[in-house]
Amino acid sequence: MDYTQTIGQRVLLRRRDLGLSQKALAARCGFPYQVISGLERGRQSIYAERLGLLADALEVSADWLLGRTNDPDAMASSPTTQPTKRQRTRKVAPVAACAETAMAPEIAHP
């Protein structure tokens, strides 16, 4: 099962548990009820921003909506996807170096 179907099934389940209509849930989220209908049928994908709004409106975690955890209140303890090569090899400046740079005095140019 893909994310679209998982999200749709969980939106439907939680919406019914809360006793909300599609229109009432859409009003809570701030987007058209057709989006909720499409999600529940597995025919609509969702942007990350909207996923967060939807999770808040349903009072669950986004991880639960995505099927990453079975606890609606908890975040998944470990990601189900592996980091990309770019994420694994990305170099990050040490915190001390960032702090020193931020505290360096401004240099006036003539």
According to the model, what pLDDT value does residue 73 have?
Answer: 75
* Cβ neighbours around 42 below 10 Å, total: 17
Whether the Cβ atoms of residue 22 and residue 37 lie closer than 8 Å to each other = yes
Whether the Cβ atoms of residue 33 and residue 40 lie closer than 8 Å to each other = no
Options 1.10.3720.10, 3.40.50.300, 2.10.240.10, 1.10.260.40; CATH of 3-66: 1.10.260.40
According to the model, what pLDDT value does residue 108 have?
Answer: 55
According to the model, what pLDDT value does residue 82 have?
Answer: 53
According to the model, what pLDDT value does residue 92 have?
Answer: 52
List per-block mean pLDDT (blocks of 10 residues) for the chain, which spans 110 residues: 90 95 94 94 91 93 91 59 56 50 52
Q: Domain-by-domain residue ranges, the chain?
A: 3-66
- For the whole model, what pTM was predicted? 0.65
